[in-house]
Amino acid sequence: MSETVIKTNKLTKRFGDFVAVDEITFEVHKGEIFGFLGANGAGKTTAMRMLCGLSTPTSGEATVAGYDVFKQPEEIKKNIGYMSQKFSLYEDLTVKENIEFYGGIYGLTNKEIKEKSTELIDKLGLHNEAKKLVSSLPLGWKQKLSFSVAIVHQPKIVFLDEPTGGVDPYMRRQFWDLIYEGADKGITIFVTTHYLDEAEYCNRVSIMVDGKIEALDSPAGLRKTYEATTIDEVFYKLARKAKRSE
């Protein structure tokens, strides 16, 4: 059995009377691509915020990269990467400055930062753009850069919150090539998406409905259990039952 990178037990978050995340229990293993699906308002973002050490759970237990979400949130932050569709890079810094900034934040030495920026700019083919402001890059490029920046410190795990929202099908593939490559190197990928073809690229997928994890299995396993030909259908069968309206 490979190393467990995320482990939760009845993890719960309440806001007043509202139970945003309701006793979720699951494990994610090292190097796994784990798809975290759910309808808008199902509780994905709240769950993710707890796992990233940004929000203290109401009850339950969870460890991420070996650290406790209640007692060691700062340690968690140092050992994970995070990117979202909404925010990841500073628009008014250049490509190079963003890499340097995040390298510094994640505690890389100056020498490491220099090596990493050359490596990343080479790999992403951004030579002509290195000194341009990030705001001038097309969305697909930004997302590839921000994923690369999120793993610049070689974290055990990276959390991706709708990383490909609004990205065209061609660029989405290029983005997933980077994800595959990261996972192949042993980085655990925790990803949310509304493009359900992307769910198929995950090793395992969980589907949240009204704050609970309703299903968790490999894509093939889910299709079999729910007698569906695609994950779209599985999702549809589960999410349609949701009572909570966002």
Partner 1 sequence: MDAITLNNVTKTYNKKTVLAVDNISFSVSKGEIFGLIGPDGAGKSTIFRMLTTLLLPDSGKATVGGLDVVKDFKAIRGIVGYMPGRFSLYQDLTVEENLTFFATVFNTSIEENYNLIKDIYVQIEPFKDRRAGKLSGGMKQKLALCCALIHKPEVLFLDEPTTGVDVVSRKEFWDMLKRLKAQGITILVSTSYMDEATLCDRIGLILNGKMLSIASPEDTINAYPEKLYAVKADSIYHLLLDLRAYEGTINCYTFGEYLHLSITSNEAEVRKYLQDKGHENVEFKAITPTVEDCFIGLLKHQDERNSNKNE
Region binding partner 1 by CB under 8 A among candidate stretches 6-14, 16-24, 95-103, 233-241: 233-241
Counting every residue written for the chain, the total comes to 246
What is the closest distance, in whole angstroms, from the C-beta atom of residue 79 to partner 1 in the complex?
A: 25
For position 35 contacting partner 1 by CB under 8 A, the verdict is no
Query: Could you say which of 197, 212, 214, 217 contacts partner 1 (CB under 8 A)?
Result: 197
Query: Could you say which of 74, 91, 115, 168 contacts partner 1 (CB under 8 A)?
Result: 168
Write out the binding residues for partner 1, residues 103-142 only, by CB under 8 A.
138-140
Instruction: Please give the Cα distance from 84 to 162 (Å, whole number).
Output: 6
**Tally of CB atoms within 10 A around 214:** 16
Q: Which residues lie closer than 8 Å to 16 by C-beta, 6 or more apart?
A: none
Find the angle CA(127)-CA(133)-CA(139) to the nearest 5 degrees: 85
- Give the binding-site size for partner 1 (rule: CB under 8 A): 39
What is the closest distance, in whole angstroms, from the C-beta atom of residue 235 to partner 1 in the complex?
A: 6
Query: Could you say which of 6, 21, 120, 239 contacts partner 1 (CB under 8 A)?
Result: 239
Q: Is 133 exposed, middle or buried (0-12, 13-18, 19+ CB in 10 A)?
A: middle
Q: How far is CA 207 from CA 77, 210, 246, in A?
A: 25, 10, 15
Instruction: Please give the Cα distance from 236 to 242 (Å, whole number).
Output: 10
**54 vs 171, beta carbon nearer partner 1:** 171
What is the closest distance, in whole angstroms, from the C-beta atom of residue 75 to partner 1 in the complex?
A: 31
Instruction: Please give the Cα distance from 68 to 8 (Å, whole number).
Output: 10
**Tally of CB atoms within 10 A around 102:** 23
Region binding partner 1 by CB under 8 A among candidate stretches 17-25, 53-61, 96-104, 165-173: 165-173
> What is the 3 state secondary structure string of 168-234?
CHHHHHHHHHHHHHHHHCCCEEEEECCCHHHHCCCCEEEEEECCEEEEEECHHHHHHHCCCCCHHHH
For position 71 contacting partner 1 by CB under 8 A, the verdict is no
**80 vs 179, beta carbon nearer partner 1:** 179
- One-letter amino acid of 123: K
For position 91 contacting partner 1 by CB under 8 A, the verdict is no
Query: Could you say which of 100, 129, 162, 210 contacts partner 1 (CB under 8 A)?
Result: 162
**66 vs 165, beta carbon nearer partner 1:** 165
Query: Could you say which of 176, 187, 205, 215 contacts partner 1 (CB under 8 A)?
Result: 176
Chain residues that interact with partner 1, rule: CB under 8 A: 38-41, 85, 138-140, 162, 165-171, 173, 176, 180, 183-184, 194-197, 200-201, 219-220, 230-232, 235-236, 239-240, 242, 245-246
